Structure 1
Amino acid sequence: MTIDKIIIFSDMDGTFLDHSTYSYSKAMPAIRKIVKNKIPFVFCSSRVSHEMDIYYKKIKIRHPFISENGAAIFIPKGYFKFNFKHDYIKKGNKIIQFGTKYEKLRKVLVKIRKETGYNMKGFGDLTLKELSENAGISLKKARLAKKREFTEPFIILDGDINKIKKLIKKHGLNYTKGGRYHYIMGKNDKGKAVNTLKKLFKKEFGKITTIGLGDGQNDLPMLKNVDYGYQVKTYKGEYSYRNKAVIRINKIGPKGFNEAVLRHL
């Protein structure tokens, strides 16, 4: 009997990483099993590629990953045994792009701010020190976080989120909400990228079983496009949304990640 190859897709902040400390120590029992069993572990995050590289190096594995809310898939050269269509190659990765270029997103955000007079700031408006303090990260990590390619995270200090969402849509772009920030982006989402990568994994391994883990609303498209979609609790000890398509785990962040993954390993 053929055993399905397990593929794991996971959000980072608030799921694999603790929301406040960015520690993944509580997820390590599951990570050790993932490494031991050579299970493909795909980060699917709102973070940029440079940030995700760091965490793969820390846990000493290398797999494809999905950056900036499904904007691009990064696949290490030679990872799959076959050739596949990709848009370009960068730093040893074949990249499949779905997202809209950052420069366009910035222009739209600035235009909306001028039209409405709302007090809202994107990463492009924040200094390294401001971003470091707002996100609770070092200046070095803030510098990496600002290297956006396909999404612009922003904060709203004063303004009507529903009106902002309508204006973003009017410009032909999409809005989503993560665990910490609002995002303006193109027509990409985590689900589209996950489905594309699933097809490549199926071609490589044949039968696969897919697992997804997340905490925020932006994770829902990913969780709805895997066999087992797990929603962990946010740092506040609550669920950020309700949806019958997901399996709820009664633990916060990395603890929930650990419990869900170990159900399958």
Structure 2
Amino acid sequence: MRHIVYSDLDGTLLNEDYSYKDAKPAINFLLSSKIPLILCTSKTRAEIEVYREKLGVTDPFISENGGAIFIPRDYFTFDYDHDRSVEGYNVIELGEEYADLCGELKDIRKETGYKIIGFSDMTAEEIAKDCGLSLRDAELSKKREYDEAFTILGTKGQIDEVFRSIESRGLNYTVGGRYSHIMGNSDKGKAVDILTELYKREKRGSEIKTVGLGDSLNDLPMLKVVDISIVVKKPDGLHDPEIDLPNLIRIDGVGPVGWNKAINELFRRKIW
């Protein structure tokens, strides 16, 4: 049997300080066991590439909430459909163009009169201060291609109205820890399904079992389509109450601490 691990970054593999130190033993285990670790996150390609290098991961990754799948060239031994090739990757694009999404968000802001602030409206310095990022990391977060991160300064009713307006345009949104995201007809789950099918083609004749680790509601599409769904605790010591799936595993541990424990129990102790 072959396992594939799909993981969110912020709040899951990374803690509030963007550290993965507590998950390093489990990461090293996956690498040494040649178990693919697919980073599936709201982060941009530029941001993910930094973490892939730090972690030593060479597997494909999913950027911007399922906006695109980046597959290293020659990773699979067969040809497959993809939309473009760039900087050593074959790219399967599922999301809308960033400029179009920013335009839609500006139209909604104009129509409603609400204070909607997107990353495209902010400087790298402002993003760094608000998110606790270094200036360099904030600059990487602005290199968006398939979704726009935004916040709404308003009441719950106003926020819900903005979300309804996004849906009325045939677009999707997801609510993250610090920012919401507007995107096209894409999500983490659709990207995971496509990539898993490629692995099944590559390992024809072998059973594939997928594992998904997340912490918040924007991970739900991913958690719905994997075989083993795991959520880690948030910094307040609780699991996200909005994530509720049959056979969901709620691991006892915050962020990377829970991540490390989950991988250890799954592969070493073989609890599930």
Task: Answer whether TM exceeds 0.5 for this pair.
Answer: yes
Structure 1 residue 7, shift from structure 2 partner: 0.5
Structure 1 residue 239, shift from structure 2 partner: 2.1
SS in 1 for 2:225: coil
Structure 1 residue 212, shift from structure 2 partner: 0.3
The answer (yes or no) to whether the contact 2:224–2:245 under 8 Å persists in 1 is no
For 1:32 and 1:235, how far apart are their aligned partners in 2? 24
Aligned to 1:195: 193
The answer (yes or no) to whether the contact 2:233–2:252 under 8 Å persists in 1 is yes
Deviations along 1:75-113, whole A, 9 cap, x unmatched?
000101111111110110000010000111101111111
SS in 2 for 1:9: strand
1:178-217 pair list within 5 angstroms? 178-205=176-203, 206-217=206-217
Alignment pair present for 1:65 and 2:94: no
SS in 2 for 1:96: strand
Deviations along 1:9-46, whole A, 9 cap, x unmatched?
0000000000x210000111100101110110000000
Q: Structure 2: which amino acid aligns with 1:223? A: L
Q: Structure 1: which amino acid aligns with 2:171? A: L
For 1:120 and 1:251, how far apart are their aligned partners in 2? 34
Structure 1 residue 156, shift from structure 2 partner: 1.6
For 2:100 and 2:31, how far apart are their aligned partners in 1? 39
Alignment pair present for 1:243 and 2:244: yes
2:174 to 176, 189, 195: 176
1:120 to 99, 116, 119: 116
Q: Structure 2: which amino acid aligns with 1:53? A: E
Aligned to 1:9: 6
Deviations along 1:181-210, whole A, 9 cap, x unmatched?
101110101000000000111111231111
Q: Which runs of 5+ in 2 are unaligned?
A: 268-272
**Deviation larger for 37-46 or 174-183:** 174-183
The answer (yes or no) to whether the contact 1:87–1:96 under 8 Å persists in 2 is yes
Alignment pair present for 1:27 and 2:23: yes
For 1:193 and 1:264, how far apart are their aligned partners in 2? 23
Structure 1 residue 178, shift from structure 2 partner: 1.5
Structure 1 residue 53, shift from structure 2 partner: 0.8
SS in 2 for 1:121: strand
1:103 to 95, 99, 105: 99
Q: Structure 1: which amino acid aligns with 2:243? A: R
The answer (yes or no) to whether the contact 2:73–2:88 under 8 Å persists in 1 is yes
The answer (yes or no) to whether the contact 1:113–1:120 under 8 Å persists in 2 is yes
For 1:140 and 1:156, how far apart are their aligned partners in 2? 25
The answer (yes or no) to whether the contact 1:8–1:210 under 8 Å persists in 2 is yes
Q: Structure 1: which amino acid aligns with 2:245? A: K
The answer (yes or no) to whether the contact 1:66–1:193 under 8 Å persists in 2 is yes
Aligned to 2:270: none
Could you tell me the TM-score, scaled by structure 1's length?
0.96
For 1:152 and 1:102, how far apart are their aligned partners in 2? 7
SS in 1 for 2:52: helix
For 1:204 and 1:145, how far apart are their aligned partners in 2? 33
Aligned to 2:76: 80
**Deviation larger for 239-248 or 143-152:** 239-248
Q: Which runs of 5+ in 1 are unaligned?
A: none
The answer (yes or no) to whether the contact 1:179–1:215 under 8 Å persists in 2 is no
For 2:57 and 2:169, how far apart are their aligned partners in 1? 40
The answer (yes or no) to whether the contact 2:173–2:180 under 8 Å persists in 1 is yes
Q: CA RMSD in A?
A: 1.0
